Chain A
């Protein structure tokens, strides 16, 4: 019996050894770029990229947001659909990342296997989606990230306002408090580039221009209203004086506003995004302001970027850094609320 087991194990080990020796173990991106032909890096700067005819060949584009359920993702999808719907050769599919790195990786893998021509990705986690983005790019599929970046060189990023939003909000808070006061921050899911950039911009301006404004605390609300509500309640119990709150997105600002209302406290509450619900809250005086991004236009921009990438054949191997297109920030408070018209709301 023991002999049988030993011999089985030896055979198994030999087989694995042979397999390993024969093929050589390759990571996903290496295997993908081999399959696509080429060594994964452009040899010279003058090597021309060749693409498809984006307006006559059959094209498949996929959109993978973090969570399809939130209003931002819905607005992006609308913007993409309304643009791509003009071209009958384009098939556009929307997936759901379910806020999970594992799910997004699985869906990326599926889109690569089904030979999509371009992928628009909102990365749940910058580092966690880097490997599949590399694999897609190596297989010749341009990846355009929307709002949430992936931590690797890829064909493009269409960024909603982040750093500038943080800077502008810091300015507004600083001015209104006369340079002195206490603020708390309800931040994004750890690892999200957008949250990091908003934070960076905010803290930069506070440090430089308003050093007497103290940041009491910073906790993650994970982009969610309910979580932000809990965090805000904690803050209100812990700290007697809070003058202002920075939330990395509107959903969290709404949660914080409810908590402040329940505690009957007058606090400046700022969000980022500019969703319709937030604009209502600003109108009702529950929130102070937000930095609006036209999400439908942002979605359309991602789709246009895709058509450009497909047509030119440019992928990560022709680039040394990810090119970024930034959406214009519009600071919205009660005073200029009318600037955002009905059809701009999402």
Chain B
């Protein structure tokens, strides 16, 4: 079996095993409402993870996604409260704002040549500070106001039980996978991640590729923000804090390697669902918080260690096979 398909099988198998463990050891896991709940929970992380997958496949990283979501959500809440703009316009502005954040990230990384980790860590602080700039204030004190515009609130809604955010996530995941596997941009993304120097020498503008993936991530963060405030109905100053790590965990569990050049959106989708199943299952046990965090941490670390070991094993096998074939060819000649 190809390495890629093997890895996919392992991702799906882990998800199924986890779901079965929770299903048999707790009540109410395999009910329709619970499963629809899980699919809803995974969707926000999942939408952003699509973009972050692109970034990680190019051997980059984006630590500012949570802050972008926080900033865009607060911007929306501010516009709705202070200017009563129509829902459609607010949604357009939010996606635009997210995209602009992505453009800034890409600029700092490609034009200012700051390493991604530091660049996005810094922009994270920048975007988080913008949250406070746009926070709604009454008499100088920050107050959080409910969003009452039905056009926005309906984004947190569902059709026959299936949440809009879930449908959007799956649609965007399909589009993301098609981009990765069937378009030139996808090929360039893999090439940039696998070996940037080679890609440059082959004539690929790796700077533009890396810029593009940040813009895509920012765009997706904007979309995710709309669904987030649609569901919660307000924007708090700490919204999105820690989200970037959930997203990165989902991407890595799904098979994208930090070294770049490997992974796809199918894996990321499985990873996002895995994280949501894990969170949902742990809550069912009603354990104290410390135990919850330990279990979550151990499972994530185990998946990442396994991924690393598996990758090394497969690399060894590939080299072995290559040297065997080289020997056989040398022997013949």
Which residues of A have CB within 8 Å of B182? Answer: 1, 5
- Inter-subunit contact A27/B157 (CB<8 Å): yes
Residue from A28, A110, A131, A191 whose CB has the most chain B CB atoms within 10 Å: A191
B280 to chain A, nearest CB (A): 7
The answer to the question of B10 belonging to the interface, with a C-beta cut-off of 8 Å to chain A, is no
How far is it, in angstroms, between the C-alpha of A106 and the C-alpha of B279 when the chains are bound?
10
Known A23-B160, A25-B159, A95-B286: A105·B143 in contact at CB below 8 Å: no
Which residues of A have CB within 8 Å of B141? Answer: 187, 190, 196, 199, 218
CB under 8 Å from chain B, chain A span 134-152: 151-152
Residue from A26, A69, A128 in contact with B233 in the complex, judged by beta carbons closer than 8 Å: A128
Binary flags per residue of A48-72, CB closer than 8 Å to B gives 1, else 0: 0000000000000000000011000
Which residues of A have CB within 8 Å of B156? Answer: 27-28, 131
- Inter-subunit contact B279/A25 (CB<8 Å): no
B40 to chain A, nearest CB (A): 8
A159 to chain B, nearest CB (A): 18
Q: What residue of chain A has the Cβ atom nearest to residue B232's Cβ? A: A128
- Inter-subunit contact A128/B286 (CB<8 Å): no
- Inter-subunit contact A127/B146 (CB<8 Å): yes
Interface size class of A (residues with CB under 8 A): 35 or more
- Inter-subunit contact A25/B144 (CB<8 Å): no
**Partner-binding segment picked from A78-86, A96-104, A337-345:** A96-104
- Inter-subunit contact B233/A22 (CB<8 Å): no
A72 to chain B, nearest CB (A): 16
Give the secondary structure class of B's interface: mixed
Which residues of B have CB within 8 Å of A218? Answer: 140-141
How far is it, in angstroms, between the C-alpha of A8 and the C-alpha of B160 when the chains are bound?
23
The answer to the question of B5 belonging to the interface, with a C-beta cut-off of 8 Å to chain A, is no
- Inter-subunit contact A26/B157 (CB<8 Å): yes
Q: How many A-B residue pairs have CB under 8 A?
A: 123
- Inter-subunit contact A31/B161 (CB<8 Å): yes
B55 to chain A, nearest CB (A): 23
The answer to the question of B237 belonging to the interface, with a C-beta cut-off of 8 Å to chain A, is yes
B272 to chain A, nearest CB (A): 15
A155 to chain B, nearest CB (A): 19
Known A26-B158, A106-B279, A114-B28: A191·B142 in contact at CB below 8 Å: yes
Which residues of B have CB within 8 Å of A106? Answer: 41, 279, 283
The answer to the question of B198 belonging to the interface, with a C-beta cut-off of 8 Å to chain A, is no
The answer to the question of A16 belonging to the interface, with a C-beta cut-off of 8 Å to chain B, is yes
A246 to chain B, nearest CB (A): 14
Which residues of A have CB within 8 Å of B289? Answer: 68-69, 96, 98
CB under 8 Å from chain A, chain B span 5-44: 27-28, 31, 33-34, 37, 41
How far is it, in angstroms, between the C-alpha of A143 and the C-alpha of B167 when the chains are bound?
30
- Inter-subunit contact A105/B231 (CB<8 Å): yes
Known A12-B171, A218-B141: A20·B159 in contact at CB below 8 Å: yes
Q: What residue of chain A has the Cβ atom nearest to residue B276's Cβ? A: A106
Q: What residue of chain B has the Cβ atom nearest to residue A5's Cβ? A: B178
Residue from B144, B147, B280 in contact with A191 in the complex, judged by beta carbons closer than 8 Å: B144
How far is it, in angstroms, between the C-alpha of A76 and the C-alpha of B28 when the chains are bound?
28
A183 to chain B, nearest CB (A): 16
B30 to chain A, nearest CB (A): 12
The answer to the question of B153 belonging to the interface, with a C-beta cut-off of 8 Å to chain A, is yes
How far is it, in angstroms, between the C-alpha of A23 and the C-alpha of B161 when the chains are bound?
9
The answer to the question of B324 belonging to the interface, with a C-beta cut-off of 8 Å to chain A, is no
CB under 8 Å from chain B, chain A span 1-55: 1, 5, 8, 12, 16, 19-20, 22-28, 30-31
How far is it, in angstroms, between the C-alpha of A16 and the C-alpha of B174 when the chains are bound?
14
A299 to chain B, nearest CB (A): 18
Which residues of B have CB within 8 Å of A31? Answer: 157-158, 161
Q: What residue of chain A has the Cβ atom nearest to residue B279's Cβ? A: A106
- Inter-subunit contact A19/B167 (CB<8 Å): yes
Residue from B158, B171, B237, B238 in contact with A25 in the complex, judged by beta carbons closer than 8 Å: B158
Which residues of B have CB within 8 Å of A191? Answer: 142-144, 236-237
Residues of A near any B CB (own CB < 8 A): 1, 5, 8, 12, 16, 19-20, 22-28, 30-31, 68-69, 93-96, 98, 100-102, 105-107, 109-110, 113-114, 124-128, 130-131, 151-152, 187, 190-191, 196, 199, 218, 220
Q: Can you list 21 A-B contacts with CB-CB less than 8 angstroms, sorted by A residue number?
A: A5-B178, A19-B167, A23-B160, A25-B159, A26-B159, A28-B156, A28-B157, A28-B158, A93-B286, A95-B283, A95-B286, A98-B289, A105-B231, A107-B283, A109-B37, A128-B232, A128-B233, A131-B156, A152-B146, A190-B144, A191-B237
A95-B286, A96-B288 given; name 15 further pairs at CB < 8 Å.
Answer: A25-B159, A25-B164, A28-B231, A68-B288, A94-B286, A96-B289, A102-B239, A113-B31, A126-B144, A127-B145, A151-B234, A187-B141, A190-B141, A191-B143, A191-B237
